[in-house]
Amino acid sequence: MLHDNVQRLPQENWNSPGVNRLFMNILAKPGRIAEILKLLHEDNLLEKIIPEYEHVHYLMQFNEYHKYTIDEHCIRAVGQAESLHGHPTEAEGELAPVYRDMKRKELLHLALLLHDIGKGQDGDHSLIGEQIARNVADRLGLSLEDKSLLAFLVRDHLLMAHTAFRRDLSDEGILLRFAKRVAQPEALKMLYVFTYADISAVGPDTWTPWKRDLLKDLFIKTLEVLTGTGEPLTQEERSGRVRQEIGKQLENLYPAHWLESQLGAMTSRYLLTTPVEKIAKHLQRMESLEIERVMVDVEYSPAHGTSEFTVYTFDDLIPGIFSKIAGVLAAKGIQILDAQIHTRKDGVVVDTFQVIDPDYVSCPPKRRFEDISRTIKEVLLGEVAADHLFAGTPRFPSGRWISPRFEPTRIEIDNDLSDRYTIIDVFAHDRQGLLYVITRAIFELGLSVHFARVATRLDQIVDVFYVTDLEGKKIDFPEKLQSIRQTLVSKIDEFLMSPQGLHQPKST
């Protein structure tokens, strides 16, 4: 009856203060908000209150990442947020207190409902959505303060995910810029829950412990900045404290002069991004490195469903160490999530890779770890060429490569976000072995990778590399930056369009 008769009421009846109050009251009371919104939507009532919503009714998103249409995704995101009010799962438990403490939950829910409403139109959907959100706020009679917060959440709804998943959070500059953009603790809390709800509403298994921990880390660090609860220490002061803590823990295990020289060789970035217990474990392995030249440790984390490969070697052993390790992992079918590239002042390399093995739903067997570790050693010692690992493997069929329809490769280079590094963002269609192609091209361009973060959205990759030149300096010359862009696009597109992919061995 509602569906059949809703059109009989003139539009001005839906813009009354009474309707607006009722709608905002619905959004303010967690429990059945998503259910009610879905019913309103099915009966064409939601479009009467927010006419712009008609545009996204059953609007598909043409990628493999989003499972739902835009309207369903937005309503599901509201449901994911309000579920924190009841009995959240263990993976959501840390978010629940943040959500429950929010004073204006209705603004968060309204922002989630509107955040993708700008899709399907020409231009940046976040900016289009921001203007729509401002118009909706005016019609609903929101205050200027609430209108501003709603606009921020819609416009910058991807900001926290992009910062947590693509940036090095040990970089003070990046953290301060993010905090300045958010500006208020309440806005940060809303954006934190918003990001969780948006990610988990995309489809099954999109919310992972790895993403949870990265977002939590960014939330805590930013909250300390915004509330002034963190200690105002410089990077050198903080790394100095870590050195002292490690020295006290291990002073009875190693000779004082050896321990002092090891701590002195560690860079500030290594000390600030590596947990103390891991630094202690790395030091225990250093005693054997001079003899073995290459060592590989593997540790599986049941809580995250990921494995961590730690590679110890020397930077003068072979050129392109990071690229070659990435090549081995790609050839073995391993997906890299995160890579920390550390070269100490004495030339010792300690590289760690957080990875997922798609071949196993839980911990891979010991023989799998041993095979990968052995191959990494063989490649770094020059006994096997990385390119040859791709030839003949069933993971890379030799049949014709049929190129799907995909977005053009895009390279973004940022020299402003970090004081120490040039940041390269690579957006491209995914194909097995692509990460190796990218890292090899970066090596051939004469660049050193210090930090890498890799995200695959089923059909698209977003790979981030913090690089310097071989002297450890940022790349400032426009001609060099343009060369980097052109070379990476050329190498990536050549690989994506090639029927043979990496089958043709090349000397490295």
pLDDT in tens, 312-332: 999 988 988 999 999 999 889
pLDDT of residue 28: 92
pLDDT of residue 60: 60
In the chain, % of residues over pLDDT 90: 37
3-state secondary structure labels for all residues of 175-242: HHHHHHHHCCHHHHHHHHHHHHHHHHCCCCCCCCHHHHHHHHHHHHHHHHHHHCCCCCCCHHHHHHHH
Which positions ≥6 away from 132 have C-beta within 8 Å? 52, 114, 117, 118, 154
Provide CB contacts within 8 A for 258, sequence distance 6+: none
Question: Is residue 291 packed enough to be buried (19+ CB in 10 Å), middle (13-18) or exposed (0-12)?
Answer: exposed
Q: pLDDT tens for the chain, 508 residues: list them.
A: 777 777 777 777 777 888 889 999 999 999 899 999 999 888 888 888 888 887 767 656 544 455 668 888 899 999 999 999 876 665 566 888 999 889 899 999 999 999 988 887 777 888 898 999 999 999 999 999 999 999 999 999 999 999 998 888 877 788 889 999 998 999 999 999 999 999 998 877 778 888 888 899 999 989 988 887 766 666 777 788 888 888 888 888 888 888 888 888 888 888 888 888 888 889 888 878 878 899 999 999 998 889 999 999 999 889 889 999 999 998 898 988 888 888 888 889 999 998 989 888 889 999 999 999 999 999 999 998 888 887 756 555 444 444 455 678 899 999 988 888 999 999 988 777 788 899 999 999 999 888 888 775 545 678 899 999 988 899 989 999 999 999 999 999 988 887 655 554 444 4
| Distance between CA atoms of residues 70 and 222, nearest Å | 30
pLDDT score of 508: 40
Write down the domain spans for the chain. 2-213, 233-290, 293-497
Give the per-residue pLDDT at 149.
94
Helices marked H in 301-430 — which ranges?
A: 321-331, 366-380
Q: Using an 8 Å Cβ cutoff, are 78 and 34 in contact?
A: yes
Using alpha carbons, select from 471, 465, 475 the residue that is nearest to residue 440: 465
Q: Is the dihedral of CA 250, 252, 255, 260 positive or negative?
A: positive
- State pTM to two decimals: 0.79
Whether residue 342 contacts residue 270, with contact meaning beta carbons closer than 8 Å, is answered with yes
DSSP class of 299? E
pLDDT of 91: 58
